[in-house]
Every structure is written in structure tokens, then in C-alpha cells.
């Protein structure tokens, strides 16, 4: 297997002088094709900052991030947007759905940006929603869906463009234990059956139980990296 993501010497400093905060301190990390990995650590350990570096949502103060063979450091803003669109799926704690759009339209939005034809957008979006158990709910807006159903829409949106890796930041933080199990079961099945690579930032032990690889962060550094 080859790395989908490679981080070399990643540091991130917010602010300057005495007010400087060292969020990441020399991170070396490879995420391999097919990984189902959890990234854990206490609040302030650097999990979200590292996910933002890998997802090209922010840039490191020093070091290099490579995603699917492409070094992010030399890319222009438009190139980074293109890489995020084609190669990275995102799942957020707050779902980040557009409230005035239906479930189908939220999922279709990514395909619209990719220039997929309307007929193919609809078929692919409906297939993605069916895969996450939302068949028959395509026309519902987020306000008519439960928290778990909204997160399923977010997972479908993350996967519909067939990204190389899905980054999830505390995806179960707002969900009860039953819904959490259903969603983690779903992500794990997508990893096992479809080969989707997942990196999940979490402190939820219910998520970590499924992890084939567990990365622990403390104070902006990787404390441990173990595989089962």
C-alpha cells in the first residue's frame, strides 16, 4: 500500500512573539490507502489543526503535506480548491448542510461544482443517499431530518465525488449512542467494502473501538501510533 497522505515536519504557529501558540510541533505522519484511522487527543492537542492541514483548509508554518502524490505547499488557491473538490471528502461535527436545500440537493452540490450533468447528478446523489440508508428522504430539508439523518446526508455528500480520503472532525459529537453506532458501522462498512480511506478526529471511545489504526496527539505532537 502507498500513502494517500504524507506529512513531513508539519508545524503550525498561531500569533507571534509571547502570544504565539504552537498548535503543531513537527508532525511526521503517513495515512495509508485503505486506512480506517482515528486521530485522538484532549482538547487543544492539535487534532483539528492537523485535519485542516491535510484537507488544504489551512497551510502549515513549516513542513510539507502531500495528498495523493501532490505537494500542497506550491499550489495556488484555485488548485487547492480543485484538489479538495476531487480528492478529499469532509464530514464535520455540525453537519454543514445548506438549510434551504433538500438532502438530494445538498449531495448534488458537489457534483454541480464538478460539472456533472443534471441527470447523472440526480442518479449519483440518490444512489449515495440510498447507500447511507436515506432512500425515500431525498426531498427532505435538514430541518425535517434528525441529527443522525443529517450526518448521513453529510456522509453521502462526502462520498458522492468518490474522493481518495474522507476527513471527519468529531462526526459523532452531537449524536446519541445508538445513532453513533449506526454511523460508525456505516463508515466502517464503506471502508471495508468500498475501500474508502477514513481519518477521523475524535475523542469518542465508541468510534475508537472500530479503529484499525489509532493515533494519539498531545500538545501538538504524535504521542503514539498503533495498529491492530
pLDDT tens sequence across 158-215: 999 989 999 999 998 888 888 888 889 988 988 998 889 999 999 888 899 989 899 9
d(CA 61, CA 154): 30
pLDDT of residue 47: 94
Q: How does strand 36-40 pair with strand 197-201?
A: parallel
Could you list the beta-strand ranges (E) of 119-186.
165-169
Look up residue 68 and give its three cell numbers: 495523493
Contact, 91 vs 101, CB < 8 A?
no
Contact, 131 vs 158, CB < 8 A?
no
d(CA 209, CA 106): 30
pLDDT of residue 1: 75
pLDDT of residue 173: 85
Is the model's pTM score more than 0.95?
no
Look up residue 111 and give its three cell numbers: 457534483
pLDDT tens sequence across 80-121: 999 999 999 999 888 889 999 999 999 999 999 999 999 999
What's the burial of 92, exposed, middle or buried (CB within 10 Å: 0-12/13-18/19+)?
A: middle
CA 171 from chain centre, in angstroms, equals 9
Query: What percentage of residues in the chain have a pLDDT greater than 70?
Result: 100
Which 3 state secondary structure label does DSSP give 135?
A: coil
* Model confidence at 17: pLDDT above 90: no
pLDDT of residue 93: 84
Sketch out the chain's domains with CATH numbers: 34-59+73-227 (3.40.50.300)
pLDDT tens sequence across 141-156: 999 999 999 999 999 9
pLDDT tens sequence across 175-188: 888 888 888 998 89
pLDDT of residue 92: 87
Which 3 state secondary structure label does DSSP give 21?
A: strand
d(CA 45, CA 217): 6
| DSSP-derived secondary structure letter, 18 | G
What's the burial of 118, exposed, middle or buried (CB within 10 Å: 0-12/13-18/19+)?
A: exposed
Phi, psi of 128 (to 5 degrees): -65, -40
d(CA 132, CA 121): 17
d(CA 108, CA 123): 10
Amino acid at each position: 500500500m502507498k500513502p494517500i497522505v504524507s506529512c513531513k515536519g508539519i508545524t503550525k504557529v498561531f500569533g507571534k512573539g509571547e502570544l504565539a501558540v504552537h498548535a503543531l510541533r513537527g508532525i511526521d505522519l503517513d495515512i495509508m490507502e485503505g486506512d480506517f484511522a482515528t486521530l485522538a487527543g484532549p482538547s487543544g492537542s492539535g487534532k483539528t489543526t492537523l485535519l485542516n492541514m491535510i484537507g488544504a483548509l489551512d497551510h502549515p508554518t513549516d513542513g510539507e503535506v502531500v495528498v495523493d502524490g501532490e505537494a500542497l505547499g506550491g499550489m495556488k488557491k484555485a488548485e487547492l480548491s480543485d484538489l479538495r473538490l476531487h480528492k478529499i471528502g469532509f464530514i464535520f461535527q455540525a453537519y454543514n448542510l445548506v438549510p434551504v436545500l433538500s438532502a438530494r440537493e445538498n449531495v448534488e452540490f458537489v457534483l454541480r461544482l464538478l460539472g456533472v450533468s443534471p441527470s447523472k447528478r440526480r442518479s449519483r446523489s440518490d444512489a449515495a443517499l440510498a447507500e447511507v440508508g436515506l432512500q425515500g428522504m431525498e426531498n427532505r430539508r435538514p430541518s425535517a431530518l434528525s441529527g443522525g439523518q443529517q450526518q448521513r446526508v453529510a456522509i453521502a455528500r462526502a462520498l458522492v465525488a468518490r474522493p481518495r480520503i474522507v476527513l471527519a472532525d468529531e462526526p459523532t459529537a452531537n449524536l446519541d449512542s445508538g445513532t453513533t453506532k449506526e454511523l460508525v458501522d456505516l463508515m466502517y462498512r464503506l471502508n471495508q467494502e468500498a475501500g474508502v480511506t477514513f481519518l477521523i478526529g475524535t475523542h469518542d471511545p465508541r468510534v475508537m473501538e472500530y479503529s484499525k489504526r489509532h493515533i494519539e496527539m498531545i500538545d501538538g505532537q504524535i504521542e503514539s501510533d498503533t495498529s491492530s
